[in-house]
Structures are given as C-alpha cells and as structure tokens.
Structure 1
Amino acid sequence: MTQEMNIQTAFQDVMAASGDIPPKQKRVLAASLELFAAHGFANTTTKEIAARADVAEGTVYRRYKTKNELLAAVLAPFTTEVLPRLVEEFAAKVIRQEYMTRHDLITAVVTDRLQFLQDNGQVMRVLATEIMVRADLREQFLKRAVPLVQRNLYPLLERLKADGELVDWPNDRIAQFMIGTMVSQFVRSNLAAEPVTTAGPLMIDFLEKGLAPK
C-alpha cells in the first residue's frame, strides 16, 4: 500500500492547484494552518502568521479583517476539497479490498484510521473543534462526507452481511458504531494525553464482537 498523504500536504496541494488565490494569500493560509495546529487558534497571533508566511502583518489584515475570518478561509477548502480527497484515498487504499471476514475489515479500518488520527492529531483537533461549533462547516462536511461513505463502505457491508459475517443492521448504524468508536478514542487520547493507537486491539475486539451476526 502506498503511504497516505497527511492533511497539511493535501491542503498544500489544494492551494497549489488553485488559480484563484494569489501566492501571498496561499502562504498566509498555509502558515495559519501550521500555527493553528501547533499552538491552537486562540494562542496564534496574526504577527506570527505574517512572519511564518514571510509577508507584512498588514497584508494579512488587508485580506482578512479578523482572525475568525482567516480561520474560515483556512477551513473552507477542508470541507469542500481536502477531506473528500482524503476519504477517497482511504477508500482506494483500505475499503476497496477483498475482505472475507468482518475481522479483516475491522482490523484494517481501525488500524489505518487510528494511525491517521495519530499522524494528523494537531490538525484534526482544530478541525473537530470548529466542525462541532460551526453549523455551516458541519453542514458542508456532512454533505461531502456522507455520500463518500455510502458509496465506498456500504457495498462492502452488504456483501459481508450476505455472507453471514456481519450483523443485519442498517448500514448507517454500523458505520456510526465503527466511526464513533474511533472518534471517542481520539477524544480520550487528547484528554488523557495517550497515543491514539493505544486501544487499537481492544477496539477491534469490541467491534468484532458487537457487529457479529446473531
């Protein structure tokens, strides 16, 4: 399997491909993402962003009147381009494989996604916080993410159910339990300052037993 790109690399690729954003603005957005991820939104100043982007602080303020406006500009490409691209890449690498058992599927998904959260934890904290509190971003994210999950995961779940490997529950519930278990571990890891991957084997065992056919 090829190495999956991380969130910041995907963001930089989206910025590089955009012909509508001037070079200085691209540097400001990339610098903002790096600093928000490293220090948090509240602890990052426009002066630091300007220094990282190698522009005058006035350049930042001419385009973005407030730091919230700057954050919105950083997050917008995530919901429309970056995250959908990463979901498609994950589907090609993990989901579209020939899994014969629920154990194989659950092990592959949990192992891969926990490692992704571990590698991208700083950026994911910023994204998760803003998606939770901002209805507009949450709506955009769900509008993009849900069809991708339905198109890529649901056919595999149906096949495993037909083979007697998976409990005959609605696909959205099965996806909810799989994704929700990993999200809860991400939250716990941030609160307890432990590696995201710590509980991987326990989560695999939990999901495999919980999703077993009756």
Structure 2
Amino acid sequence: MKEDMNIQEAFKAVMAANGDIPPKQQQVLAASLELFAQQGFANTTTKQIAAKAGVAEGTVYRRYKTKDELLAAVLAPFVTQVLPKLITEFGEGVVGRPYLTRHEMIQSIAEDRLAFIQKNGPVLRILIREISVRKDLRSQFIAHAEPLLKNNLFPVLDRLKDCGELVDWPNSRIAQFMIGTMLTELVRSLLVPEEIAMASPTIIKFLEKGLAPE
C-alpha cells in the first residue's frame, strides 16, 4: 500500500482483495463510504449511493434492506481489516524507528498522525461516532487494535522509559494520552476554522512536557 493512500483508497484495496465480495457490491460499499463522509449518513439516500456506484437502486436494496444495514456492512471491514492494516503499516514505518529521545518519538508520531487525521477527518468522524455508540464495533475494534499497539508502540515506550526519557506510567495510559490528544483535533476542527496540521507544534510541546520523567 502506498504511503499516501487514504482510508477510502485502503478500503477499496481491501474490498478488491476479498474474493467473497462481488464487484457491484464493492462499488456500493465504496460509494456509500464516500457519500457518508462527504454529506453525512442522514443526508445520504440510497438513490444517491446507487448513482455513485453506477448500479440500479434495486441492486442496493436486494443486498441491504436499510441504510443502517449498509452502514454496518461498510464499518465491519474497517474494524477488522482496514484499520488493523493501516495501524500495522504505521507501526512498521513510523513507530518502529529507533528513537533516542522523547521529543523525536512524539514529533514523528504526532506529525504523521495529525496529517492522517487531516486527510481522513470525515471518515474518522463516522467511525468514531459509531464505535462510541455500538458495543459490537467497539469490542471488535479493541480486540484488533490492542495487540497492534502492544506489539508496535509499547516496546518503544519501554525503551524510552529505560533510558529515562519517558515518565514511568503504564504504557496503556501513555498511549491513551497520545492518541486522545491528537483525536481531539477532530472535534476542534469542527468548531475552529484551522488546519489540523497547524496544531502540531502545540500538541508536540504539550505531550513532551506531560510525558517527561517525574
């Protein structure tokens, strides 16, 4: 997968690699994701989805009886395939570098993830909203994301703690503060007309001070 591939492109790639999903169904799912992200779930109709996918509206209804069923079909592979794939690639390409200082790690991860959030904000808002209200998606996400964090981020945190570069807190707590701080930019971007990437220096400084050894 290319480094600059966004979530929607990754979604299409995963669908294409899945031999169980017919081409027309792939088109419907990809069109649904794009329209949900562009104009919101409530404002998107099955007629618009069918037109975007290049299929008859009846084709959509034959497979998905309601929009909620369609949304569930879009989100399921996100949680089980797309996000784990993206997290793994992020871990190998960014997190796994041999950082020597807290600043190097925080700057590299923050700049990379804020750029990712900037590029994929609309899709991430849909995903976060649904994960927050749907226990099944939340459970699936945790089951897939937790091992990836433990295998990729936690060893880096342990190494920096051993070097006296990082506060000696549980890795899960440090990860929470890092990830949570960056995700709040999604909310801020809805309220303040500011490029998410512009927040990078402030967030880096905030995290670097907050995670300094006691």
Distance 2:93 2:21 in 1: 31
Distance 1:152 1:63 in 2: 38
Query: Counterpart of 2:159?
Result: 159
CA positional deviation for 1:23: 1.2
Question: Which residue identity does 1:190 align to in structure 2?
Answer: L
2:68 alignment partner, SS class: helix
Q: Does 1:54 align with 2:54?
A: yes
CA positional deviation for 1:143: 0.7
Superposition map of 1:139-154 within 5 A? 139-154=139-154
> What is the total number of aligned residue pairs between the two structures?
213
TM-score normalised by L of structure 1: 0.97
Query: Counterpart of 2:193?
Result: 193
Superposition map of 1:67-106 within 5 A? 67-106=67-106
- What is the CA deviation profile of residues 129-164 of structure 1, one whole-angstrom value per residue up to 9, with x for unaligned ones? 111111111111111011100110111101100101
The answer as to whether partners of 2:79 and 2:144 remain within 8 angstroms in 1 is yes
The runs of 5 or more residues in structure 1 that have no matched partner are none
Question: Which residue identity does 1:180 align to in structure 2?
Answer: G
Distance 1:181 1:106 in 2: 12
- What is the CA deviation profile of residues 62-106 of structure 1, one whole-angstrom value per residue up to 9, with x for unaligned ones? 110000000000000000000000001101110010100000000
Distance 2:3 2:59 in 1: 36
CA positional deviation for 1:198: 2.1
CA positional deviation for 1:109: 0.6
CA positional deviation for 1:193: 3.5
TM-score normalised by L of structure 2: 0.97
RMSD, aligned α-carbons: 1.0
Distance 2:150 2:193 in 1: 33
The answer as to whether partners of 1:106 and 1:208 remain within 8 angstroms in 2 is yes
CA positional deviation for 1:3: 2.4
CA positional deviation for 1:39: 0.6
Superposition map of 1:173-184 within 5 A? 173-184=173-184
| Dislocated runs of 4+, deviation >6 Å | none
The answer as to whether partners of 1:4 and 1:89 remain within 8 angstroms in 2 is no
Distance 1:191 1:143 in 2: 32
